Structure 1
């Protein structure tokens, strides 16, 4: 049974039908990825299904009692609220208990003891402690630590994280996500993958991240020309079956066009007879005419602009240092960029990836050190910032600001209008206001503005955000053949793996490490390193355990007996363990009574944790000695 159903829904936007008479259903445990070219209406369809926009026709229904959570591409908040108020805004009873408890914890000693005791009892009654621990884990993984900060002071990426945290904490039965991986670092994306891959989760998402799609979704739905096509399988299966479908459709269209030419001649003769056969043929003519209007092989973006010839010296960074207040972003970074070098930059959010790019392009000055660019180096810098335009600007005006004629890789020249057609902006759309474009179409236009400068040093800062998968594949192919130097920052692991040969790994504290290989190589290196450290630690422990009894053994063939000192230690341990058990019992009673203030509760909890650790250690030692004495 469907938890979410849409029956014959239609939506018109800017005098264009995005979809008509579309039906769709989402069942329990179904994790569906919605894909399609930019401008096909994916975001609009999500908003209609989430109940945020009404359909022009048709009906959307949600099963009774089902709660729905929606993550938009660009969340909106009340800027006057704190992060805590924004995250814990749900009506869930357990969530309300956690919200009250967290509010009192932030007050510290100023919290009312009676109110705090009531909050603790409420948490106990709802068994909310595990839930509170999950909340803490979600906030920590998403890098949300300052709950008293105003939402209005956060960047767009930070607000997206707050919105994602709120959705995961509320635990709705139906989750709808629009580009959930945007603004997340690679470690966080991998954590989110594991969290969303639950077999009981019901999920509908739009994502361009092909690894994320493969590991989370169990179905792919394509929105193409207002219709949906379902594919049960992974991304590779979708690509194969989509190509087969388009080929079959192209053959059918071509057949219909050939038949239409013959039937058109017959229709023009205007047959006088109106028998049953003639009427059937006339009806068949109109059916053929409708089929012949279909689209043949799908047109794709063409990326083939010329790059400026590059000299021997490309770019050199010498001993760069940069700080923001107490935070060190770069510490003594040096690197010589070479021809056709392909570098990826990775690191947790906030380590300074964009700052490094801005220093390399001399948009930002370092505190010390220098950047020297070669005389023939021409930068093309695709930034995370949204396309800048005026409300009265049209698509073609944005391109003409940079160049009216562009030289292509094969030596030919194209006008701005012709180039826009290569980027799938037909003549009618070229005179559309930029504000009416979808988010992905704006990013595609922004990419065009960068490439028409014919750069030979291309810097792409999160280029995959909001681009559709088809455009990403074409962009990858273009970059694989790009003859200049490429520097790439992206959370899209598939994109990184195909394009980069080395990584600059930014670490907290401003250190930058050069790693030879792509992102998957780097992740495997980290796993191997962790496994080696764990193995070395285990071997060391095993060696200590093996040598200690051997050194004390009087003979190889005689049983090991406890010494006088060990017997004395055994007796003392029994008394010490009993004393610790009594202390632990008293502390548990005090915590359950809630009789202390905030500071005392914190001290008791810390002491209880220490007691558990001491009891574990002494218990293990007591068992070792008991075996010798027995």
Structure 2
């Protein structure tokens, strides 16, 4: 099978630091490749190089000149003074120019009949009616209706959808997509999945959306510390094989480390003795030292900041109503928030999700109804637009502007620099300028500043945009243990399924529906036809469930149940104590860190077994 595009010995640097060197990658026709890796690894740079947006510092991109590449940038740019119509329809495509003229004409309330008849004939002559339908479907799905609107008046999300619409209309030989699901609602994402997997499309993409990865991609390419690792399979297969690779890497690292100790002793002997030794052994030592230094231990973001105390009264929405330009956005909605509420906010773009959040946080006073907030409620609001950082400011100064020292959940006080390190900002990045951070790293910094406020009512509006999957996994772990109220707005179906127990559905007509369950359960409920209950069924008496005797536990089982509860509490306390101790261990003391980590892993396995048995006994 011929390669459509290939990178040969590619090398590129950013701000005088090499992202990768000697990198080789080939993409075959019909491959749907996902590029994964942590923020700052160089994923977006590699996409731009393959899309020929600029030239690499080393190596080359090889492809046939006739192969057309369509590139969706993370933040697309547009020519000045263009309308949507000018951008969408290519001047070199006769069919598109006819469709453009036709679409512009029918937007006119009084179209010229003679011109309209001529266009009908020409569109038929060029077999463009099916193409016109495809274009209209794509534009409609992306929420693009007014073709004469100037691009400069669009929001960032609308511009991203416009750029994606043009690429889908052009249907290139290779799709290169940087975060294609950002700013799309879930219905549109599911439609896009079907479109991209139809036919034999060749795709290279970066996305944080794990359901999208699993449903669309058949190859995963990981960019890790400047190296490429290929996995022929979907995202679930990648996770399995990556785990195996990391275990092998750990084994190799330990062998290298032990060998380095021996070689270090040899190198430290008297300088006079060293001159008699083999030069090749000296060279081998420095090579081994380099490999060992390059290896960075698997770091993880530790999100365990303190939560403010929460009182009995949290937030009450009493018959609130809001409209804009006589269009109802929220109509007579009431809800009393309870402790540990976990709510997913769902609905198509433009149905009023941001309006509801602004009312909840007090940024907007509703036209009708009353909002009553508890005295102890502390909001943490992670907004989709992010924070406007001063690009010339140092990262550490941005954190210090809030606080020099931060109190963690365990009562420990740490410095701003230590907190940044926990969030995977090493000292070099802490003292660097914000402009040197990647888009995902800026989002991580924004999230960190929100959590520093010690909120007990956390609102996350599209938190997954531009964050790498490793950071998302740890964010999920934090949210699972977060005891306060959580409202989550996300197009990431995986996150909604995992984190929400209830949904507020913005239905688009002012109504806000409440569904008890997660997003997948909600979608299944929509697809499952509701059976009508026969009228006589209402007359049947309700069965007295109290009459059915419950299975009683034996004395031994009852004792085991009580002991299990105590054991669970004991194990959880030990795990917490050891986890806290990891923060105080010197990062250079790898052996101690490894010993404590292994102990925690063993305790977690024991906790899982005890909890499983406790659940079994509880159900009995």
User: Normalising by structure 2, what TM-score?
Assistant: 0.82
1:245-265: CA deviation from partner (whole Å, max 9, x where unpaired)? 122222212211211121233
What is the CA-CA distance between 1:407 and the residue it aligns to?
0.9
Query: CA contact under 8 A between 1:179 and 1:207: conserved in structure 2?
Result: yes
Residue correspondence of structure 1 range 120-519 to structure 2 within 5 A: 120-269=120-269, 278-519=278-519
- Structure 1 residues 490-499 or 48-57, which shifts more? 48-57
1:416-456: CA deviation from partner (whole Å, max 9, x where unpaired)? 11100000111111121112211100000000000011110
Q: Secondary structure at the match of 1:302?
A: coil
What is the CA-CA distance between 1:474 and the residue it aligns to?
0.3
Corresponding residue of 1:98: 99
Matched, 1:52 2:72: no
Distance 1:225 1:302 in 2: 21
Q: Secondary structure at the match of 1:168?
A: helix
1:340-367: CA deviation from partner (whole Å, max 9, x where unpaired)? 0101110111010011001100011111
Corresponding residue of 2:78: 77
1:176-234: CA deviation from partner (whole Å, max 9, x where unpaired)? 11101111111111111111112500000000000001000001111111111111122
Q: Secondary structure at the match of 2:289?
A: helix
What is the CA-CA distance between 1:44 and the residue it aligns to?
1.0
Q: Secondary structure at the match of 1:318?
A: strand
What is the CA-CA distance between 1:76 and the residue it aligns to?
1.4
1:148-182: CA deviation from partner (whole Å, max 9, x where unpaired)? 21111111111111111111011111111110111
Classify 1:226/1:91 alpha carbon distance in 2 versus 1 (closer, same or farther; 3 Å).
farther
| Structure 1 unpaired stretches of 5+ | 537-630
Query: CA contact under 8 A between 1:2 and 1:63: conserved in structure 2?
Result: no
Q: Secondary structure at the match of 2:204?
A: strand
What is the CA-CA distance between 1:280 and the residue it aligns to?
4.4
Classify 1:278/1:521 alpha carbon distance in 2 versus 1 (closer, same or farther; 3 Å).
same
User: Normalising by structure 1, what TM-score?
Assistant: 0.81
1:13-70: CA deviation from partner (whole Å, max 9, x where unpaired)? 1121111121111110000011111111111111111111211111112223211111
Distance 1:388 1:273 in 2: 57
- Structure 1 residues 67-76 or 440-449, which shifts more? 67-76
Q: Secondary structure at the match of 2:303?
A: coil
What is the CA-CA distance between 1:127 and the residue it aligns to?
1.5
Query: CA contact under 8 A between 2:208 and 2:466: conserved in structure 1?
Result: yes
Q: Secondary structure at the match of 1:409?
A: coil
Distance 1:99 1:23 in 2: 42
Corresponding residue of 1:2: 3
Q: Secondary structure at the match of 2:322?
A: strand
Query: CA contact under 8 A between 2:500 and 2:518: conserved in structure 1?
Result: yes
Corresponding residue of 1:65: 66
Classify 1:117/1:271 alpha carbon distance in 2 versus 1 (closer, same or farther; 3 Å).
farther
Q: Secondary structure at the match of 1:146?
A: coil
Distance 1:396 1:296 in 2: 22
Matched, 1:32 2:33: yes
1:357-386: CA deviation from partner (whole Å, max 9, x where unpaired)? 011000111111121111111111100122
Residue correspondence of structure 1 range 446-595 to structure 2 within 5 A: 446-529=446-529
Larger Rg computed on CA atoms: 1
Distance 1:287 1:48 in 2: 30
Query: CA contact under 8 A between 2:267 and 2:274: conserved in structure 1?
Result: no
Query: CA contact under 8 A between 2:174 and 2:203: conserved in structure 1?
Result: yes
What is the CA-CA distance between 1:125 and the residue it aligns to?
3.3
Classify 1:415/1:235 alpha carbon distance in 2 versus 1 (closer, same or farther; 3 Å).
same
Distance 2:191 2:128 in 1: 23
Q: Secondary structure at the match of 2:4?
A: strand
Classify 1:315/1:246 alpha carbon distance in 2 versus 1 (closer, same or farther; 3 Å).
same
What is the CA-CA distance between 1:103 and the residue it aligns to?
3.4
What is the CA-CA distance between 1:87 and the residue it aligns to?
1.3
Query: CA contact under 8 A between 1:254 and 1:296: conserved in structure 2?
Result: no
Distance 1:180 1:297 in 2: 31
Corresponding residue of 1:542: none
Classify 1:290/1:400 alpha carbon distance in 2 versus 1 (closer, same or farther; 3 Å).
closer
Query: CA contact under 8 A between 1:303 and 1:478: conserved in structure 2?
Result: yes
Distance 2:408 2:131 in 1: 58
Query: CA contact under 8 A between 1:79 and 1:150: conserved in structure 2?
Result: no
Corresponding residue of 1:589: none
Query: CA contact under 8 A between 1:95 and 1:170: conserved in structure 2?
Result: no
Classify 1:156/1:288 alpha carbon distance in 2 versus 1 (closer, same or farther; 3 Å).
same
Query: CA contact under 8 A between 2:104 and 2:147: conserved in structure 1?
Result: no
Classify 1:134/1:421 alpha carbon distance in 2 versus 1 (closer, same or farther; 3 Å).
same
CA RMSD, 1 decimal = 2.1
Distance 1:247 1:450 in 2: 35
- Structure 1 residues 432-441 or 492-501, which shifts more? 432-441
Classify 1:69/1:10 alpha carbon distance in 2 versus 1 (closer, same or farther; 3 Å).
same
1:95-125: CA deviation from partner (whole Å, max 9, x where unpaired)? 3332233334345655483x55554444233
Classify 1:432/1:280 alpha carbon distance in 2 versus 1 (closer, same or farther; 3 Å).
closer
Distance 1:93 1:85 in 2: 14
Distance 1:452 1:123 in 2: 60
Distance 2:289 2:379 in 1: 50
Corresponding residue of 1:591: none
1:274-331: CA deviation from partner (whole Å, max 9, x where unpaired)? 99x9454344333322322231431111111110111111111111111111211110
Q: Count residues in correspondence.
A: 532
Distance 2:31 2:472 in 1: 26
Q: Secondary structure at the match of 1:376?
A: coil
Distance 1:139 1:90 in 2: 18
Distance 1:312 1:117 in 2: 69
Distance 1:281 1:432 in 2: 38
